[in-house]
Amino acid sequence: MLDPERFDPAAHVAATAPALGLRLDAARQARVAAAFALVAKIAAPALAVPLTEADEPAPVFRP
C-alpha cells in the first residue's frame, strides 16, 4: 500500500521512467513528480479504507 508520508514522487519518477523507456529532462521529470504527488494526496483517503478478502467491487456504478 502507498504510504503518503514516505512516498517520494521524484525518486519514483527517476526510477521508473528509464524502466518504461522514457527519457525525461529535469523540467519534465519535476512536473511528472508534482503530478504524482497530487495523485498520492488525492488517493490517500481511499487507500486508507481497510478492505478484506470478502470485499468486492460493485458490478455496476450507480451514482
- Reported as a single tens digit per residue, the pLDDT across 11-60 is 999 999 999 999 999 999 999 999 999 998 898 888 888 989 898 887 88
Is residue 39 in a domain?
A: yes
Is residue 20 in a domain?
A: yes
- Reported as a single tens digit per residue, the pLDDT across 44-54 is 888 888 989 89
Is residue 36 in a domain?
A: yes
Is residue 43 in a domain?
A: yes
Neighbours of 6 (CB within 10 A): 6
Is residue 19 in a domain?
A: yes
SS3 content of the chain, % helix, strand, coil (to 5): 50, 0, 50
Is residue 13 in a domain?
A: yes
Segment (H or E) for 36: helix 26-47
Q: Which domain holds residue 15?
A: 9-47
Count of domains for the chain:
1
Is residue 35 in a domain?
A: yes
pTM of the model: 0.71
